């Protein structure tokens, strides 16, 4: 996976998470986004 598709995937997942998490605890959302970004940087 190249960097551009990784970034596109990350952006798409962020948007999906924001939609799912509306009204939920923002601390959890931040942790999920950080975890997903680390996975994306590793290429997994």
Q: pLDDT tens digits for 30-39?
A: 888 888 888 8
Report the length, in residues, of the chain: 44
Write out the residue range of the structural domain in which residue 36 sits.
3-42
- What parts of the chain have a pLDDT lower than 50? none
DSSP character string of 8-23: HHHHHHHHHHHHHHTT
Rounded CA-CA distance 27/35 in Å is 12
pLDDT computed for residue 1 by the predictor: 54
Number of domains in the chain: 1
DSSP 2: -
The reported pLDDT for the residue numbered 41 is 79
Q: What is residue 23's predicted lDDT score, i.e. its pLDDT?
A: 62
3 state SS of 1: coil
């Amino acid at each position: 996976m190249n960097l551009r598709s990784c970034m596109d995937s990350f952006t798409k997942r962020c948007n999906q998470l924001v939609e799912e998490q509306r009204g939920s605890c923002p601390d959890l959302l931040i942790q999920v986004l950080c975890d997903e970004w680390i996975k994306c940087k590793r290429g997994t």
